[in-house]
Structure 1
Amino acid sequence: MSEEASRYDASRIQVLEGWEAVRKRPGMYIGSTGERGLGRMVFEVADRAVNEVLAGRARSVDVTLMSDGGVCVADDGPGVPVDVAAGAGGPGLEALLTRPQVGTGPGGRSDVTLGFCGVGPFVVNALSRRMTAEVRREGVRWVQEYARGVTVTPLTEAGRATGSGTTIAFWPDADVFGAAEFSFGGLAERFRELTFLNHTLEISLTDRRHPAGSRAVQFRSPGGARDFVAFLDGHTAAPALTDTIAFEREDPRMAGAMEVAFRWRGPGEERVRSFANSRPTVGGTHARGFRDGVAAAVTAYARERRLLAATDPDVGADRIGEGLTAVVSVKLDRPEFGGSTRGVLGNSAVRACVGQAVQDHLGRWLKQHPERAAAVVGRIVQGAHRD
């Protein structure tokens, strides 16, 4: 090997910044360059619009899959600011769409991150052959156009505006995504989920890609987690053994609030879904707290009714799941996530807070509904004895 080939110094380090870095390694920002990555592109643009609704500045979000392969995301909020953003050297709208890590979300427990890691619409711009923005603000309509992360037209006043809001449309770059297409079902699943977890949120999704006709769905769920449980059980033939037990509670010890809903059906698989700040999780302290609370309430009831002998061990948290459907959602001021995909909640105080709340609510329900309680607790205890 020659000296030239083996030499390694600073001259061989390639530094990529801004849109170049995104286009060089798109998977680092949206996870993939297939269907999943395209979905995350939609979520990164919808993120800001959803948070406008949750902050009380807008009423609804409309997402449209257009016939020419583009996606349009619109909201009826006050409109993204168009004046010069501090430190950005340009209008706030342009900074949002052409610079990384610029956002307008309210922060804290009210903030929802829909995308991969909250990288923002700048990444979508960088991976799109074209992006357009329209802002209706304070009676004026503003427009601007971009391509592959770069501004191609100045922010232009385009006449008077009726109402207010922001509309962003983008067309993914075929050089990056090839022939991959957006999944209507995948987008619908996540938007439906968000409306279950946020009672005030309203999202419409329209698909105009097919010549035979468009299809549209609208998501809104005032019933929250209770409605979510009913949806998860919607295709289950097994009869419900219990009512849906649902509650919401604020707990300053965990600097946040919880919403929990669950019920048992006849024999069947367990379906427990957990979320932290509206982010789907694969587990963590909130999920463990829920199981702790159910197991504690079942054990206390079983001992009181002498379904467990004094020498029998307590019912374990791993014994409660047959036929159980549950949604456990926490919203925290300072969530701590772990795992390679940040899918595990780590806030230690959450486990005890959720566990105690679940134990209290389930314990009261069991005492108030002795016949149904006997059916559920009896099945769990008998299962423990068989094992």
Structure 2
Amino acid sequence: MTEYTARHIQVFEGHEAIRRRPGMYIGSTGERGLHQMVYEVVSCAVDEHLAGHADVIDVTITADGGVRVADNGRGLPVAVEEPGGKPGVERVLTELSFGSKRHTGYWVSGGLSGLGLCVVNALSDRLMVEVRRDGHRWTQEYERGAAVTPLTRREESGECGTSITFLPDAGIFETTWFSFAALSERLRELAFLNGGLAISLTDERPERAVRYHHADGLRALVARLNPYPASLVHSPAIGFGSENEDKTILVEVAMQWNTWSPGEVRSYANNARTREGGAHEEGFRTALMEVVNDWARRRGQLGADDADITAGDVHKGLTAVVSVNLARPRFEGATRGRLGNPEADTYVQEVVREHLTEWLERNPNEAGSVIRHMLDASGESGRW
């Protein structure tokens, strides 16, 4: 028999573990994983926005095939951190165990919950970080996850923010060619999900650029998903949001009915698309059914002996986006595409009941049109 003892066990730490098993952190070493590198860096900048400290993110595909992500947030910490005596920015970029601690100042964290910058650094051939804070510009360079220069204080600067430029390691990835179209689509989605945040994408390979900024947030996304104004049952889209007392859940909802589509509900948790739904989406569907049927009965569009409007009829032609930000999201499934937090179900129901009922009461004509649309969908429009 082949000998097997304790000395055969290998333990990988830090960036070595990431480079040996990149799929555990970014999903794959193909095009999807390559683009996930960009999204992880962008996610850290979005965290700054959600914390109220950044409103601009600039993403650039550089001429040499790398990517630069810059924001106008507070800037990564440059003070020396203990233990280890390293600057905070170096710990963020090199220590897996430090990422989550970095986010003690953030009530919401997207991506790999603060570990993303360390992962991106480990999987990059080269990375340079530039920080503007504490009255100066600071720079540091890395190769394959390890610092090759100390954090260096440069000229004085009154600005704040972080810029990270990385070149993915061709020895790890199957391709290092970034798709402008793929990055553009995701960045546009993030701009919709974070109303007021401006995100730009510039490609220096062939010169081209786009910029996304949607002050109307999710309502603007619903308007884009409903491209035929003549088919709308009501306009503008319904939009509302609320944060719980503990400030651990923020809910935003936008919705609009039309006459041309079978209906679509998109859900997100901490800016990630939950394609398999989950607690937040279930809470939305449950409350929507209750509110619609209750309002229709109180307004006489459903009689005492009439059956409830069915879920299929309620969702016919409905375009809705449900987005939640949670302090401690729990995702289910191998693809992390389903949200499992039961408190999200409860709070989304509460928010939808309150705010959708208010909208129906304030807009009785539009509300009546929505109910008639549902009754028409069921073939029972003669009841009203």
Whether these two folds match at TM > 0.5 is: yes
Corresponding residue for 1:298? 292
> What residue identity is the alignment partner of 2:150?
P
1:219 to 212, 223, 231: 212
1:77 to 73, 76, 80: 73
CA contact (8 A) 1:296 1:315 kept: no
2:11 to 1, 15, 21: 15
Q: Does 1:287 align with 2:281?
A: yes
> What residue identity is the alignment partner of 1:105?
H
> What residue identity is the alignment partner of 1:319?
D
Q: Does 1:346 align with 2:340?
A: yes
Per-residue deviation, 1:60: 1.8
Corresponding residue for 2:60? 64
Equivalents in 2 of 1:148, 1:23: separation in Å? 9
CA contact (8 A) 1:131 1:168 kept: yes
Q: Does 1:252 align with 2:248?
A: no
CA contact (8 A) 2:239 2:255 kept: yes
Q: Does 1:54 align with 2:47?
A: no
Q: Does 1:149 align with 2:145?
A: yes
Residues paired across the two proteins, number: 376
1:327 to 321, 326, 333: 321
Q: Does 1:131 align with 2:124?
A: no
Corresponding residue for 2:265? 272
CA contact (8 A) 1:272 1:325 kept: yes
Corresponding residue for 1:34? 30
Equivalents in 2 of 1:121, 1:251: separation in Å? 30
- Report the 3-state secondary structure (helix = DSSP H, G, I; strand = E; otherwise coil) of the residue aligned with 1:177: coil
- Report the 3-state secondary structure (helix = DSSP H, G, I; strand = E; otherwise coil) of the residue aligned with 2:37: helix
Please say which of residues 123-132 and 310-319 is displaced more in the overlay: 310-319
TM-score (norm 1): 0.87
Equivalents in 2 of 1:271, 1:181: separation in Å? 33
CA contact (8 A) 2:168 2:176 kept: no
CA contact (8 A) 2:29 2:172 kept: yes
Residue-by-residue CA offset, 1:250-298 (whole Å, 9 max, x unaligned)? 3338953322111101121312111223332231222112112221222
- Pair 1:240–1:123, CA change in 2 (3 A): same
Aligned-CA RMSD value? 2.6
Residue-by-residue CA offset, 1:12-59 (whole Å, 9 max, x unaligned)? 222222222111111111111122111111122223322223323334
CA contact (8 A) 2:74 2:161 kept: yes
Q: Does 1:165 align with 2:161?
A: yes
Equivalents in 2 of 1:27, 1:57: separation in Å? 32
Equivalents in 2 of 1:368, 1:60: separation in Å? 35
- Pair 1:340–1:265, CA change in 2 (3 A): same
> What residue identity is the alignment partner of 1:144?
Q
- Pair 1:43–1:376, CA change in 2 (3 A): same
The unaligned stretches of length 5 or more in structure 1 are: none
Per-residue deviation, 1:128: 1.0
Equivalents in 1 of 2:355, 2:135: separation in Å? 51
> What residue identity is the alignment partner of 2:251?
M
- Pair 1:238–1:151, CA change in 2 (3 A): same
Per-residue deviation, 1:326: 0.8
Moved over 6 A (4+): none
TM-score (norm 2): 0.87
Q: Alignment identity in percent?
A: 47
2:91 to 71, 95, 111: 95
Per-residue deviation, 1:139: 3.2
Corresponding residue for 2:118? 122
Please say which of residues 139-148 and 372-381 is displaced more in the overlay: 372-381
Q: Does 1:44 align with 2:40?
A: yes
- Report the 3-state secondary structure (helix = DSSP H, G, I; strand = E; otherwise coil) of the residue aligned with 1:105: helix
- Pair 1:27–1:368, CA change in 2 (3 A): same
Per-residue deviation, 1:369: 4.6
1:105 to 103, 106, 111: 103
Per-residue deviation, 1:119: 2.7
Residue-by-residue CA offset, 1:177-227 (whole Å, 9 max, x unaligned)? 1334212222222222222222342222111111xxx22222222212211
